[in-house]
Structure 1
Amino acid sequence: MLAYILKRLLLMLPTLFGVLLLTFVVIQFVPGGPVEQYLAEARAGAGGAVAEGGGLAYRGAQGVDEKRLTEIKKLYGFDKPAHERFWLMLKNYARFDLGRSFFQNKDVWQLIREKLPVSISLGLWTFFISYGISVPLGVAKAVRAGSRFDLVTTLLVLAGYAIPGFVLGVALLVVFGGQLGWFPLRGLTSGNWDELSWPARIMDYLWHITLPVTAMVMGSFAVTAMLTKNSFLEEIRKQYVLTARAKGLSERQVLWKHVFRNALIPIVTGFPAAFIGAFFTGALLIETLFSLDGLGLLSYESVIRRDYPVVLGTLYLFTLIGLVTKLVSDLTYVWVDPRVKFD
């Protein structure tokens, strides 16, 4: 076990290196970098557009002198060759120094800490609601396989899965936020949240989080419910279940003492990845739609503005978390089923 863990940890290094190298190379060919965006904003702010010869022209169209351009490149670190910038970035990442944002004048770590509470709120609610409802539903569907209950719930679950979360979010906003006015249209809390009592704060928070969490839950809810059902059906048909029934055990004892542990292996081993993934993936459109300032929106805005320290810093962090989570998921197999051997 120790040798396997050490091997996996060592394999993370070339994986991280490959991800960062590929992204860094792609960035070099993307037009409209931070220097170009800075110059465009400077020109626009220098005088804007004025009438000239019956048309429009920029007052700042004269350009920027070479000395000023050199200072701007040095400010963003583009005065060094690409390979030198890449190795410097790797050295900083080895010390977990993710750099400083070009446009927000903050450390990347500080930005992540500021946005993390929103992502944690969405992720925790999505994770616990998805597993808390879908696992019991999947067990009930497996026990009643082929019944009307199984058919109706399957149709409802698949219908919810077929609707993209963003489309469902728009529908929820229009119906329950706009027409009925039952829920707020944006934000995680109200503007006067600091003035409310703690019970009122909790209710205000739940009032705001209901629609975005509902929109996010539907996809993962369907997958987990159907996976649970299929896992239980596969185990129920095995020989040891027939033997347990032949010994006179009740159906409840057979289900919860024998079938339950084996059927949950593929579900439990996915807990670490699902738990971490709920924080860092899939929330971009929902955060944008409901005006929630989380990690998804931060990553999107950084890509649009070519804020490369934030793009590469968050990519490095998320990739590292993903690799560690994958290792924990694989180790969970041994914890759940001791028959699994890594050799």
Structure 2
Amino acid sequence: MMAQMSVEDLSVGVQSGDGVAKTLEEQIGDDLRKKYGLDRPLFERFCIMVKNYVVFDFGKSYFKNQPVADLILKGGAISFSIGVWTVLLIYVASIPLGIAKAVRNGSKFDLYSSLIVVAGYALPNFLLAMVLVVLFAGGGFWSWFPVEGLRSDNYEELSFISRVTDYFWHIAIPVFSEVATSLAAITMLTKNAFLDEMGKQYVVTARAQGLSERSVLIGHVMRNALLLIVARVPLTLVTVFFSSSILIERMFSLNGLGMLGFEAVSNRDYPIIFATLYVFTLFGLALRLVSDIVYAAADPRIRFETQR
């Protein structure tokens, strides 16, 4: 009888301090709302959120039970590590190739290189990564590269040179997959920008004055043509960091920002979702600012102060 009464008490409800009977589910719901501040007015909650976000206090993850700021720092370091090398190699390869294509416009080199870069652009980065894993990461042919992580198990025991080598050994396939499938946009942008500048009157005048083709290209064309390419850097960084890297991080077990945000959406982990969106927005704005500064430094004719 006592056991039966206990079950009935749980099913019917618990008596609150103010004498109002509440079910167990309602009591748990009230406790959760109080814990996360949902019992406060909407405007007050918004002001608290803004204050916390200014100091990068995003609370704790619902599922991981860790501070969101720590998770973002850890994931951001991985995404930044992969992204910086990817963007650097994209521009190191794309700009010389685009210039060579512009100088040899219409030649066989221009045609064949266009076919290669466009084919790479059409090939999804995760599909290329899968092919590279099968060929070079123990998928049935050669085991030259590791298939997951950023470091080996004995990383802490290695010397500094060995650690650097181990790091590049681990990121080789992920970075190459990103670079090979992202060359086309910057390459064709570089080519078109140089072709556009090479047809302008100041270039014709420089050639008529007897300047060599190399002097015209480096001293006149390059500075103006590179402005469009510099303006493209923020978009390339954002794309590599937060869009195209998600599948790559998933394939190679790299817990970067892309993977962190994807898992948060899947698990409805709202503190991580809002925090990653906040960080992405700040990062994008910072990149835009840096791009404008570099743009002005590259072209002295551009000034930000008000013209009277």
TM over 0.5: yes
Give the distance between the partners of 2:284 and 2:53, measured in 1 at CA.
Answer: 16
Relative distance call for 1:77 and 1:102 in structure 2 (3 A) is farther
Q: Is the 8 A contact 1:228 1:263 kept in 2?
A: yes
Which of residues 28, 32, 44 is equivalent to 1:68? 28
Match of 2:299 in 1: 337
- Which residue type is aligned with residue 263 of structure 1? A
Moved over 6 A (4+): none
Give the distance between the partners of 2:208 and 2:115, measured in 1 at CA.
Answer: 35
Give the distance between the partners of 2:40 and 2:153, measured in 1 at CA.
Answer: 46
Match of 2:72 in 1: 112
Which of residues 138, 143, 155 is equivalent to 2:98? 138
Match of 1:185 in 2: 147
Deviations 1:244-299 (A, max 9, x none): 11111111111111111011110123334534654444211110011111111111
Which of residues 205, 219, 226 is equivalent to 1:243? 205
CA-based RMSD of the aligned residues comes to 2.1
Q: How far is 1:201 from its partner?
A: 1.9
Any idea what SS the aligned residue of 2:145 has?
coil
Which of residues 327, 334, 337 is equivalent to 2:289? 327
Which of residues 106, 111, 117 is equivalent to 1:151? 111
Higher relative contact order (CA closer than 8 Å, sequence separation 6+)? 1
Give the distance between the partners of 1:73 and 1:159, measured in 2 at CA.
Answer: 53
Deviations 1:40-76 (A, max 9, x none): xxxxxxxxxxxxxxxxxxxxxxx95432333234334
Aligned residues: 281
For structure 1, which segment, 103-112 or 126-135, has the greater mean C-alpha deviation from structure 2 after superposition?
103-112
Query: What aligned pairs does 1:167-246 form with structure 2 within 5 A after superposition?
Result: 167-177=127-137, 178-179=139-140, 180-246=142-208
Q: How far is 1:124 from its partner?
A: 1.3
Structure 1 residue ranges without an equivalent (≥5): 1-62
For structure 1, which segment, 103-112 or 261-270, has the greater mean C-alpha deviation from structure 2 after superposition?
103-112
Q: Is the 8 A contact 2:101 2:110 kept in 1?
A: yes
Q: TM-score, normalised by structure 2?
A: 0.84
Q: How far is 1:83 from its partner?
A: 5.3
Give the distance between the partners of 1:313 and 1:334, measured in 2 at CA.
Answer: 32
Any idea what SS the aligned residue of 1:254 has?
helix
Q: How far is 1:145 from its partner?
A: 0.6
Deviations 1:161-192 (A, max 9, x none): 00111111122222222122222111111112
Give the distance between the partners of 1:259 and 1:98, measured in 2 at CA.
Answer: 48
Q: Is the 8 A contact 1:141 1:149 kept in 2?
A: yes
Larger radius of gyration: 2
- Which residue type is aligned with residue 96 of structure 1? F
Deviations 1:283-333 (A, max 9, x none): 111100111111111111111111111111121121122123223323433
- Which residue type is aligned with residue 71 of structure 2? L
Which of residues 213, 218, 225 is equivalent to 1:263? 225
Relative distance call for 1:92 and 1:169 in structure 2 (3 A) is same
Any idea what SS the aligned residue of 1:248 has?
coil
Q: Does 1:298 align with 2:260?
A: yes
For structure 1, which segment, 88-97 or 151-160, has the greater mean C-alpha deviation from structure 2 after superposition?
88-97
- Which residue type is aligned with residue 188 of structure 1? L
Any idea what SS the aligned residue of 1:101 has?
coil
Give the distance between the partners of 1:304 and 1:82, measured in 2 at CA.
Answer: 26
Give the distance between the partners of 2:40 and 2:146, measured in 1 at CA.
Answer: 49
Q: Is the 8 A contact 1:99 1:313 kept in 2?
A: no
Give the distance between the partners of 2:99 and 2:155, measured in 1 at CA.
Answer: 41
Relative distance call for 1:64 and 1:304 in structure 2 (3 A) is farther
Relative distance call for 1:169 and 1:64 in structure 2 (3 A) is farther
Query: What aligned pairs does 1:37-52 form with structure 2 within 5 A after superposition?
Result: none
Give the distance between the partners of 2:205 and 2:117, measured in 1 at CA.
Answer: 33
- Which residue type is aligned with residue 260 of structure 1? M
Give the distance between the partners of 2:239 and 2:74, measured in 1 at CA.
Answer: 19
Relative distance call for 1:77 and 1:189 in structure 2 (3 A) is same
For structure 1, which segment, 321-330 or 306-315, has the greater mean C-alpha deviation from structure 2 after superposition?
321-330
Any idea what SS the aligned residue of 2:129 has?
helix
Match of 1:54 in 2: none
Any idea what SS the aligned residue of 1:222 has?
helix
Q: TM-score, normalised by structure 1?
A: 0.76
Query: What aligned pairs does 1:92-107 form with structure 2 within 5 A after superposition?
Result: 92-107=52-67
Any idea what SS the aligned residue of 2:182 has?
helix
Give the distance between the partners of 2:160 and 2:284, measured in 1 at CA.
Answer: 36
Q: How far is 1:132 from its partner?
A: 0.6
